[in-house]
Amino acid sequence: MKKFTILVVLIIAVAFVGSAMAVPPGKNVELKGGAMGKVTFDGKSHADKGLKCDDCHKGNTPFAMKKGTAKIKMADHNAGKLCFSCHDGKKAFASKENCAKCHKKAAAGY
């Protein structure tokens, strides 16, 4: 019985740790965007287009599941890596021509 209790506690702990790192479907993630302004990833808009979390977060896909692991640089824009593997103007809107669709500068005073 003691082993069973320990196993149940471990399973629950892993479930809570996993959910703490993940962004639930339909939620947003804010990324630092440098001088261009922060970037907000909208999970709902991607899900509405039929995408699933695993499309970008599994195996040989652009992003690891752990929050904060992606370090996006301007070179990634130019090389078609990470977000830009889809946002190339063919599969999704071209990020290079539509900076303001992702980058939002905060209003003065915020």
CATH class of residue range 25-104: alpha beta
- Mean of all residue pLDDT scores within the chain: 77
Exposure string of 34-71, with b = 16+ CB inside 10 Å and e = fewer, is eeeeebebebeebeeeeeebeebeeeeebbeeeeeebe
Report the alpha-carbon distance of residue 105 to residue 38 in Å, rounded.
Answer: 6
Q: Are 34 and 78 in contact (CB under 8 A)?
A: no
Q: What is the pLDDT of residues 23-75, one digit of tens each?
A: 566 678 888 878 888 888 888 888 888 888 888 888 777 787 777 777 788 88
- CA torsion sign, 47 to 53 to 54 to 56? positive
